[in-house]
Amino acid sequence: MEALLKLDGDIVVWLNQGIGRVAFLDYLGYLLVSDYFIPLAISFWMLGVWFSGKDVPTRERNQRAVLRGAISLGFANLVVLILNQHIFRERPLVHYELANLLYLPTDSSFPANPAAVTCAAAMGLWLGNRRAGLVVFALAGLWSLVRVSNGLFYPSDVVAGGLIGVAVSGLVALALRLIEPVPTLVLKGARLLHLA
């Protein structure tokens, strides 16, 4: 276990070496590591998927995928919140001398909440629309990589968060099938309000 923890830290230190060398890359890194850019990109992407589709069945499939992704995102966030009440792991920035483009969060780094929520949304989309889900998985991977390189998370935090997100999304998909008239009624209601 000690060897894995050391490897975790070594990866963060190695990735962190690039910060502060090229101003443009630091600016890009700041944009990507922030709490807003990638979450907003994912939100706008999901909004676009919600309204996309050349025919009614395709649009309905996309809307079910977005609904599944949004619900999964919320439940993944809840799972991480509950786990953070019982598990606390300090951030790499506390243990290593690292450059950081953001601020130092004070909550637990394990599991990584950004990885959990973005992977939950990605998996929810992927179950209904593979291409749309892959885009969100790519954004989730990019956000996770940049956050590890900034010393906000260890790689194992990100892996655990991603696995939680995927698992939660699978459970949400199952639950939505079990309560089936409800998702259909939600979509019908959205259509009545011209929101779908």
CA nearest 30: which of 93, 101, 99? 101
pLDDT attached to residue 21: 87
Residue keyed to tokens 């450059």: 99
In this structure, what CATH number is given to the domain that contains residue 103?
1.10.606.20
The single-letter code of the amino acid at 142 is L
- Spell out the per-residue pLDDT of the chain, length 196, in tens: 788 888 888 899 999 898 888 889 888 999 999 999 999 999 999 999 999 989 989 999 999 999 999 999 999 999 999 999 999 999 998 888 898 888 888 889 999 999 999 999 999 999 999 999 999 999 999 999 999 999 999 999 999 999 999 999 999 999 999 999 998 888 888 888 878 7
Inter-axis angle of helices 155-178 and 2-16, nearest 10: 100
Contact status, residue 104 vs residue 122, Cβ threshold 8 Å: no
Range of the domain at 68: 2-192
pLDDT attached to residue 89: 93
Q: Give the CA distances from residue 58 to residues 22, 182, 184, in Å, rounded to whole numbers and listed in that order.
A: 45, 19, 14
Question: Rounded CA gap, 169 and 133, in Å?
Answer: 12
How many domains does the chain fold into?
1
Tokens found for residue 56: 């009614």
Helix (H) or strand (E) holding 90, with range, is: none
